[in-house]
Amino acid sequence: MSFLVMRTRHVHHPFHNLDNYARAQKSDLVHCLETLVDAEEDTPEVEALLLDGAAVVHMLKPGAAKTFQSYAHDVFVKYVNSQLQHVRRIDIIWDSYNPDSLKATARAKRGSGTRR
């Protein structure tokens, strides 16, 4: 049973014939919904994009890259360059672990044993 049938089965509106909706697909609604929304042709102008470097690395799959250098060149840099099509500047933020930080102290107290 399609989602549309489930959603319209219990709707009792005097102006709608539910039999017609039961045979429709969800994708058929897109055309109706698009007419209700004003299409915005212009995208907002953005000067800078801030990326979490570790999140981007996690998001991008290595594909055919066998080495870190090929991953960096063929995947990571290609993604960053594609983002430069929409902005003037990209700042990539990377985590750093300072040995004197509170986080490092907590990690040292936890130890390095195996987790269960």
Domain containing 53 equals: 46-93
Q: Please give the Cα distance from 62 to 83 (Å, whole number).
A: 18
Residue 97 φ/ψ, nearest 5 degrees = -110, 105
In a domain, 11, yes or no: yes
Q: What integer is the mean pLDDT of 23-30?
A: 72
In a domain, 98, yes or no: no
Res 10 pLDDT > 90: no
Q: Are residues 50 and 21 in the same domain?
A: no
Res 82 pLDDT > 70: yes
Q: Are residues 54 and 75 in the same domain?
A: yes
Q: Are residues 22 and 52 in the same domain?
A: no
In a domain, 20, yes or no: yes
In a domain, 115, yes or no: no
In a domain, 103, yes or no: no
Residue 53 φ/ψ, nearest 5 degrees = -55, -45
In a domain, 108, yes or no: no
Q: Are residues 25 and 53 in the same domain?
A: no
In a domain, 63, yes or no: yes
Range of 13-22, 37-46, 65-74, 103-112 with top mean pLDDT: 65-74
Q: Are residues 30 and 10 in the same domain?
A: yes
Res 31 pLDDT > 60: yes
What residues have CB less than 8 Å from 74, skipping those under 6 apart? 63, 64, 65
Q: Are residues 25 and 58 in the same domain?
A: no
Report the 10 Å Cβ neighbour count for 57. Answer: 15
Q: Are residues 23 and 60 in the same domain?
A: no
- Count how many domains the chain has: 2
